[in-house]
Chain A
């Protein structure tokens, strides 16, 4: 159900054009200019945060119930020059590019030219980062062997647990004070550092309260002017809510929702954290407030639904920060990946589905917005009714909610060292990655281009795109006597580049720890207060670093083709194959057809191909798993691409799976587009052969024609399909329910298909906002039918 108010707010959100707001950049610059004290980094960051909370515009729009915007208006998007100082060329590009533009007004450009750029250019963290990277890192980065997440956005990738629902910021401050008083300046050499960090957190907690008070002031001022008595009453209520939270623990549903939103604004204003910030298991957190409201007669289901819808609109009002360069290529979307989880397991292991779960699913369906992303966490303990309710939303074809295996996620997290209770309270966020909510810093550091490493191995370390010796000279590929020898060369090459990435990461982690601590995010993350350490510096209870492998399907089919045709069947010689690749198959179409059609391929439950896949998985896993990071934690892998499979494909020539040069790679752990010909069950069987339990997330996309899900049986069987994949320990699955004809029509006539939403890879997006290459890639994905 959508009220007139919500319909109007939703429309405002949809109509708002993303613009670049210079307000935050100006405030940060003002503060940096006037700040002359000798300050530790945590205190400098905390004072910057307080300055922002004190001076940023308070926006309170007509009809709003949940208040607060990151920028001065919906979709007015702030920038973070201390991290990434956009050049004038960047601004012009953002303003003019066809996809994912941000309008930059002439005055905004002027502010950058006169104030922001002169102050921050050369001083931003991004500048320092690139200065600190080695030549070999730079060369690999430029060649597209890997990307770097932290070069213009801060580590975030995290999710809130239930802590704010029974504690106010004043309570956090008390705890901080207790910790400060207990510091041992005699025996603990870190006592001073801890004290600085704790002071910074204290300051940030106060700053958030101040921000809420300013919203209360605004609401009261508007209430005084309001002529409509109903709106006046609402504004008075908003003011009362903002006077109470976040200072104190919330007392009712409204306060709980508003409190989360202030916290969200705090985290995403402090830094441009990846994946914004996420409320996590909102159904669980809000249940007590919902029940108490209903029992006490102070809340109806409709009111709760409306408040959640208002929250949804708030998420949708916040495009991801403006990205440029490789970061824009690997994550080309307005979606900022905040994810709401439903279902799963309670901390005690019981079924986590409750009344609010279904309420949230209703909201997801009625709002049909890109943001927030939504997911269901499916445990075998959850009822089929829950999964089927979600399937009904999936059927409507906007790619949400995505579907996760809650039982496997517990296994994954426990394997990584979490307590069972922390694992159950954790889940998925961003695209598919897992973490212990409220207790873990789990950072995705960049995508890794597996097929590029194969290409380098096929050319003895030389990048055929540039002719430059980029990798190790692992040997002339024509001289390898066996597939095992060739595979060994690939592994050596892979480890070489993984190590380059790891060395870079170890520097970048310290850059954030030393220069850009995040005391506000820290106070929300256990055990940063107890340890007196920052989120970026090992303060969290758990500290994971991920490197995301991309192109497993392409990689498997290419490697399988080599094994099958060059070594096992000897249908092709290595020199002949290399000649065909160098020619991009021009004049070698028959060879290409052989590779495409007469080769075992991943996604068909084919043992030959799937064994190659698991070997590639093991090699990638072994190269990364367990390496220590700089925060007391270790590295794990996950397999997801966002939009990076398009970028990575664009830097690779033709590959032995018959893929033409520059064409996108396969995405996530999905098979190569069109290679899976034995139906969805075969895809799921193939994908389940890797050991998902040893990852921190894998991403599997499936495309179904709408006919498959048109009747009840189709829905029931989708539920069973999901259940079976999870019984086989699959991590995640998501569905596009759309036919290729519709997508082609949208390419032809974008104006008539503005509202067509598709699942990309871990998120949904407007089809017309995707690059042409990505549009084509989605069309090429196998379209499953039922029989």
Chain B
């Protein structure tokens, strides 16, 4: 492609901020998939296991246990944000401008920049690596996050580029975006993985930071257009697992054909360590993952609405 052509939002030169790309993803859609995690999310769910994905700019994370105390980070920091005392490498977050100079010299990878700016072509090249696995297994690519709809232009360009290569696409979304964004991308999406957390809007706002009307409306519209959608409900004990919430989800889905399939994602706290690496506190330390019996009980209740329920997704 001629690089001198115009560089609009839907060209291979358009850039997106990605925080991770993981192969052998087998729980985000059909077959063996690659999941591309977009950085930035309009929601701030308290249970989020990818907290590094929430803020839109690139973030600095620090793995204390990897630090070899070489002091290279302190030497290179232009803002004097890294203490030299004892070469402990602690960052003063007030002074840090997230320039990431320290990450380049940190050979031990204790300091890492979360968030890579990729062009569509670069992202596509990474996605294409696993084409043989998609072809063999009926898999493809899943765009997740963070929230992919926050980077709508980039997402659209990347979806189109994948489709042009015959790669099946899925978008894992919280649904909190202008319908216009969804409307632009939906023709290029084979499957939506659509998160529903709480149907009570006030509680939704309390636990995620935003109300849910837009989310519900977008889901209704996707259903009206007949898109393939799997609804995903994170089961957070004490937050989303109460009978009332489950009943409302069941009723909503039953009343919104062709929605039928719902995946229940049990809470897990594998993300707790990440909060520490970001110098953030975690507010759900007392919550335990739900038991298999609890999960089955919730599944039974949703099945009563004629839904197809899977635990784990």
Contacts and interface: CB of A to CB of B under 8 A. Distances in A.
Contacts of A598: 107
B109 A724 contact: no
Contact of A787 (B27, B130, B135): B27
Given A678-B23, A680-B24, A787-B28, A720 B133 contact: yes
Interface in A690-715: 708, 711, 713-714
A720 B27 contact: no
B233 to A, nearest CB: 18
Nearest to A721: B32
Candidate in B24, B107, B135 with the most chain A CB atoms within 10 angstroms:
B24
Contact of A681 (B23, B27, B28, B70): B23
A319 B23 CA distance: 41
Contacts of B129: 605, 681-682, 685
A723 B136 contact: yes
A679 B22 contact: yes
A786 B29 CA distance: 13
A678 B130 CA distance: 11
A605 B24 CA distance: 13
Q: A interface, how many residues as a size bin?
A: 20 to 34
Interface string B27-45: 1100110110000000000
Contacts of B26: 708, 713-714, 717, 786-787
Nearest to A720: B137
B297 interface: no
Given A682-B129, A720-B137, A590 B72 contact: yes
A598 B35 CA distance: 24
23 contacts: A589-B68, A590-B68, A590-B72, A593-B70, A597-B107, A598-B107, A678-B23, A679-B24, A681-B23, A681-B34, A681-B133, A682-B129, A713-B26, A713-B312, A714-B26, A717-B137, A721-B133, A724-B32, A727-B136, A786-B26, A787-B26, A787-B28, A787-B35
B91 interface: no
Interface in B129-147: 129-130, 132-133, 135-137, 139
A594 B107 contact: yes
B108 interface: yes
Contacts of B23: 678-682
Given A680-B23, A711-B312, A784-B24, A724 B137 contact: yes
Contact of A597 (B24, B31, B72, B109): B109
Interface of A: 589-590, 593-594, 596-598, 605, 678-682, 685, 708, 711, 713-714, 717, 720-721, 723-724, 727-728, 784, 786-787
Contacts of B31: 717, 720
Interface string B105-134: 001110000000000000000000110110
Contact of A593 (B34, B35, B68, B130): B68
B25 interface: yes
Given A720-B139, A724-B32, 14 more contacts: A589-B70, A593-B68, A593-B70, A598-B107, A679-B23, A681-B32, A681-B130, A681-B133, A682-B23, A685-B132, A723-B136, A724-B132, A728-B132, A787-B24
Contacts of B137: 717, 720-721, 723-724
A727 B135 CA distance: 10
A727 B133 CA distance: 9
Contacts of A597: 107-109
Given A679-B23, A786-B25, A786-B26, A727 B132 contact: yes
Contacts of B136: 720, 723-724, 727
A482 B139 CA distance: 43
A596 B107 CA distance: 8
B295 to A, nearest CB: 13
Candidate in A679, A708, A724, A787 with the most chain B CB atoms within 10 angstroms:
A787
A593 B66 CA distance: 10
A785 to B, nearest CB: 8
A-B pairs with lowest CB-CB distance, top 10: A720-B137, A593-B107, A679-B23, A681-B23, A724-B136, A594-B107, A593-B108, A717-B26, A787-B25, A679-B24
Contacts of A721: 24, 32, 133, 137
Nearest to B137: A720
A679 B32 CA distance: 12
Nearest to A678: B23
Nearest to B136: A724
Nearest to A592: B107
Candidate in A679, A714, A727 with the most chain B CB atoms within 10 angstroms:
A679
Candidate in B109, B129, B136, B139 with the most chain A CB atoms within 10 angstroms:
B136
B22 to A, nearest CB: 5
Interface string B270-306: 0000000000000000000000000000000000000
B24 A786 contact: yes
Contacts of B32: 681, 717, 720-721, 724
A597 B107 CA distance: 6
Interface string B219-254: 000000000000000000000000000000000000
Contacts of A784: 24
A502 to B, nearest CB: 37
A350 to B, nearest CB: 22
Nearest to A679: B23
Contacts of B132: 685, 724, 727-728
Nearest to B22: A787
Contacts of A685: 129-130, 132
Contacts of A681: 23-24, 32, 34, 129-130, 133
Given A598-B107, A787-B35, A713 B27 contact: yes
Nearest to A718: B26
Contacts of B108: 590, 593, 597
A287 to B, nearest CB: 29
A321 to B, nearest CB: 41
A605 B127 CA distance: 12
Contact of B107 (A590, A708, A717, A724): A590
Interface in B2-57: 22-28, 31-32, 34-35
